[in-house]
């Protein structure tokens, strides 16, 4: 998510810290990898009763689905993401391939 956060920040994404009653942002901070993780986990997997899906407790199928969606989003944006050969995502992809 670090690479995603860098892309988002470079394209103007910030995190509001204070919002006025009329909805205008008064203070903000740079968008970081924790923000990217939170945003995209909610976007790709949704939430239940206002709580986002917990990736640490998720099953492999859901996690692979989420990472596939995120990779497709990145490709669409022209963002190159690093995918470690020995990482979980690559292992899951190899398992799915048979």
Query: In this predicted model, what pLDDT tens digit does every residue of 24-75 receive, in sequence order?
Result: 888 889 999 999 998 888 888 888 787 787 766 667 778 888 889 999 999 9
pLDDT of residue 57: 64
* Domain enclosing residue 43, as ranges: 2-97
The residues, ordered by sequence, that sit 6+ positions from 21 with a Cβ below 8 Å of its Cβ are: none
pLDDT at 9 over 80: yes
Which of the pair, 90 or 70, is modelled with greater confidence? 70
Tally the domains of the chain. Answer: 1
Distance CA 65, CA 41 (A): 11
SS3 80: coil
pLDDT band at residue 97 using 50, 70 and 90 as cut-offs: confident
pLDDT of residue 58: 63
pLDDT of residue 69: 93
Cβ neighbours around 70 below 10 Å, total? 20
Q: Rounded to the nearest 5 degrees, what angle is found at the Cα of 35, between the Cα atoms of 32 and 37?
A: 110
């Amino acid at each position: 998510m670090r690479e995603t956060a860098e892309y988002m920040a470079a394209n103007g994404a910030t995190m509001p810290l204070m919002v006025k009653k009329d909805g205008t942002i008064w203070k903000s901070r740079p968008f970081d990898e924790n923000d990217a993780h939170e945003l995209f986990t909610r976007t790709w997997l949704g939430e239940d009763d206002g709580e986002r899906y917990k990736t640490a407790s998720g099953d492999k199928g859901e996690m692979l689905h989420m990472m596939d969606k995120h990779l497709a989003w990145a490709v669409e944006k022209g963002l190159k993401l690093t995918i470690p050969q020995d990482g979980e995502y690559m292992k899951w992809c190899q398992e799915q391939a048979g």
